[in-house]
Structure 1
């Protein structure tokens, strides 16, 4: 290996989505706007659920957790990209990059686990409505969320520790707006066999398990509805599962497009697809759940009306 390749990197260069300076202004404006919408939309969902006693149910408990994770998920990647653009810099330090990888893995997996828990909740609501309160006890709901956090943290810690042991040489340019583990791994001049094996086995398991739970839950729901099909039952199933199913399709559709194809150089299509589930999906989730849910819309109207009244009262 040449002498220049022996030089250890202290930072990585994030080239952004396009890598072209004339397009970065447009990307900056889009990211800033979408990030503000993501934060405000998800915060409104959380506040509406917390302030309305009628929404203190397992379904909305999981939704509030999903909104919290979506805020954190976007905050791991977008702010650094925005700050770099304002400062006219493309660099991110080695430690910042490893930290970003750690939290990125946590929150992307938490999204999957929460979506699977919500699918199970919908299965119980439709297939076992009479036993719903017994099966979805508050203690079980908290336990499912805590267990998800433990698994995702251990998974992220394992991958990050394996990443830290690698050596990164002179090549430090990443065609991305954040430290995505996949393209960062490709820059290493060390043997990445253990990392690749772990990503395939442990990473695959933590990704496939929630997806399998979602698929099985919806299979049971569909089977239950088709046993005695009626317009009323179909409408109930759509109103109960429509929003969740839409979010699942958006989230897993983008992930499958990036990580479930044959090994190849990380392309601009992969970068755009990654941006979709890290930026777009957390932004649209509040709209999907609020526009198709009368309870959430009612709680949001109450919350906004209450704020307007209090602002007029104190002005």
Structure 2
């Protein structure tokens, strides 16, 4: 695997001590992947993806109701912001502090995205930042080299393939703070339940509103299957596309780039270059015109008193990370 010079050292508050024997039992799935998990993962990738492929001809032939579209959009952005604000900026990087009710709400919202248990998600991502695009990164697209065939193989690995790897990130090493929190540990262990709830909400609402089984089915198709597939592939694109292409106005020790056309669907996560240049920043889209709905919601949480000690990037901090500035700029 290729590496790039470490031109900027950033400090992430996430603790990463060695595993401790006094930690509670590992969360759902533990540190190794069983065959049953791999089969379940395959089903949760292929079935929603097939629904996503079928969505275009179905919409063309029968259309999509405003109710189904509304359920898709609402559930998509609840889960997306649960991942971007909760799992990523808050639990992984400590970009802000949250009052207990918000902390629990963000954990549940992120779990509704059906992207895996909270503690495992955070552990994987903290490891990714520790070894970003270098040996040890769980999902770098540069894993196999820089030739075009190697990059194509690497993009597949970064997008989907890495999730089937039997090796697991040690949760006690990379997320001990979350394991020690009984409520967060419980939410993480209850991932299957949150998945069932996430898939059940759209058909329940659709069936009750239309008072028909057909309304429940179409709501399940659009609000559950298509929504999950779309959110999954947008999230995975941050791992793959945003580490292979995109503009890099800021200094980072990896190949993270900004991909503008993913900004709205990724809730601001695709401004990935600044994130890797300054991982604890609560805002990723820091330049004019860069839409970052996650940062906007964090600002609202702050104004409501739900979030505090938010790590907003100052103008001087942003300038110090630009490519045309020396690596040791203040």
Structure 1 length-normalised TM: 0.26
Structure 2 length-normalised TM: 0.25
